[in-house]
Amino acid sequence: MENSTAWITSCKLQNSGWLVNGTMSVPNDPSNRDCADVLQWIAEGNTPAPEFTDAEIAANAQAETNATHQAYLDSTDWYVTRHAETAEAVPEAITLARATARAAII
Amino acid sequence: MSKARNISALSTVEVGATTDQTKADLNAIGVNSGRKNMVINGAMKVAQRGPSFTGNTSGNRFTADRFKAQLGSAGTFTFNNSSTAPEGFSNSSHMNCTTAFSVASGTYLLFSHDIEGSDLQQSAYGTSSAKQMTVSFWCRATKTGSLSVVVRQPDASLRMFSKNVTINTANTWEKKSVVIPADTGGTINNDSGSGLQIAWWVNGGSTYGGGSEQTTWGNQTHTNKYTGTLNIGASTADNFYLTGVQLEVGSVATDFEHRSYGEELALCQRYYYKVLGLMSSQSTRWLSGYQHITLWHPVIMRANPTFSDSGGSSYTIFAEGATDTPSGQATIQVSSKEVSEVYLPSSHAQKNTFVRFFSTSKFYEFSAEL
């Protein structure tokens, strides 16, 4: 039978295409049969959900923040190790920055 | 006696009506046949999705690669790739009614097969040199009656031809053929879209029936699609099998062109393939929370494919002696006919890792079906 949209139960934007029914990544390529169905589904008046909800956007941003600050802590751990082994002080700027990084990680 | 007459004498196939006896005889014995079969997986050897789908009340199921069972809300069926087959074949596409139904107007039941336009250019449709084609197939049903073979041209507003074929004996394999007339007024684009769709209608409601066979090419007329009497699904005893499908240029159904499993599989993978069981791939942490895998398709696909993850967490990310389980389903970041970038949600912090399925039922699938 011709293009049918009955099989589409959910659809949200994803990268350059759509995530359909929670499991199918459909590319925005009209020669793809599933894409043709999605385009017809949109033409019928339906609107794909946004790629991310506000909560997901916030969670993704926090994850990036966590990763950035964790990387900074990892890269400056050697100051702490040196202090423990040789008693040479950690520079004050490093200590302050590490405290800021720890506080930013949730 | 000429060579042609000698060859003619060798032929054991009854030649149909044709103005070129020599050519028909050559076709009949397979001379100059080359790559004659335009159907992919006509012997139903490859069934990557199945082998069996039970409890179907509507929708489409691929009983073999490239062959789709289509059910329009009528009864309940099992669709599967069967080992019941005529001599010389090992598989068939099979529909088995498990709950009978009374036909409603919009119900339909059929197998269908789409052929890419670029693979049909030898038909010369739409030109003054348009050629006849012949579709042949083996079928078997638990009762006698007629089914309707419907051929449509998607590039010509679904211009249509239909012809009934009679199953003469129940529970017996029978080879059938239908000569499709040349269509000087048709259109089959030389592209990767569907150029021709062949369907075997075995039941249909009044929306798709009640008309008559449409034995010359013309505009699509829905009521001319199922004008048969087979009515598969009227009883739970009803079964229908299809295999040995061949479409070739000319007016003679020659012997089926058998191809190796590997060759047929590669042809099918242009439209669909499945990464199943033991998949192992290097991966790289991209954004926080994601691992990235690059998967090169085994063949260049017809179109940018749809990607699906079978779900579950039956795979592991390995890195420097530590492991992690992805926290959700994989999705596609970028996809082309040649390669796809798969994203796995994962909190693993390591940047250089590899991913492995550990369940034989876990799979990724890529579809660029017509």
Residues on chain B touching A8 (C-beta within 8 angstroms): none
Q: What is the pLDDT of residue A31?
A: 93
B8 has a pLDDT exceeding 70: no
- Residue B5 in tokens: 């007459």
| Best CA proximity match to B198, nearest among B176, B169, B174 | B176
Contact between A25 and B306 using a beta-carbon 8 Å cutoff: yes
ipTM over 0.85: no
**Out of B304, B329, B331, closest to residue A32 by CB:** B304
Q: What is the pLDDT of residue B1?
A: 39
- Residue B89 in tokens: 């074949």
Give Cβ neighbours of residue A49 (< 8 Å, ≥ 6 apart). Answer: A10, A11, A12, A13
Q: What is the pLDDT of residue B309?
A: 87
pLDDT-derived band at B348 (thresholds 50, 70, 90) equals low
The percent helix, strand, coil of chain B (3-state, each to 5) is 10, 40, 50
Which residues on chain B place their C-beta less than 8 Å from a C-beta of chain A? 59, 70, 72, 108, 158, 192-193, 287-289, 302-309, 311, 329, 331-335, 349, 367-370
Q: What is the pLDDT of residue B346?
A: 76
Contact between B329 and A22 using a beta-carbon 8 Å cutoff: yes
Cβ-based contacts under 8 A for chains A and B: 65
Q: What is the distance between the alpha carbons of residues A98 and B222, in angstroms, rounded to a whole number?
A: 73
Mean pLDDT of B207-212: 96
Cis (ω within 30 of 0) for the bond into A48? no
B39 has a pLDDT exceeding 80: yes
| Best CA proximity match to B96, nearest among B235, B245, B243, B244 | B235
Q: What is the pLDDT of residue B15?
A: 43
Question: What is chain B's mean pLDDT, rounded?
Answer: 88
Q: What is the pLDDT of residue A2?
A: 61
**Out of B288, B303, B311, closest to residue A32 by CB:** B303
pLDDT-derived band at B10 (thresholds 50, 70, 90) equals very low
pTM of this prediction? 0.84
Instruction: Evaluate whether A20 touches A28 at the Cβ level (below 8 Å).
Output: no
pLDDT-derived band at A54 (thresholds 50, 70, 90) equals confident
Mean pLDDT of A46-61: 87
- Residue B66 in tokens: 């490239």
| More reliable by pLDDT, B132 or B358 | B132
Q: What is the pLDDT of residue B68?
A: 96
Please give the backbone phi and psi of residue B227, each rounded to the nearest 5 degrees, phi first. -120, 20
Q: What is the distance between the alpha carbons of residues B363 and A13, in angstroms, rounded to a whole number?
A: 23
**Out of B308, B368, B370, closest to residue A24 by CB:** B308
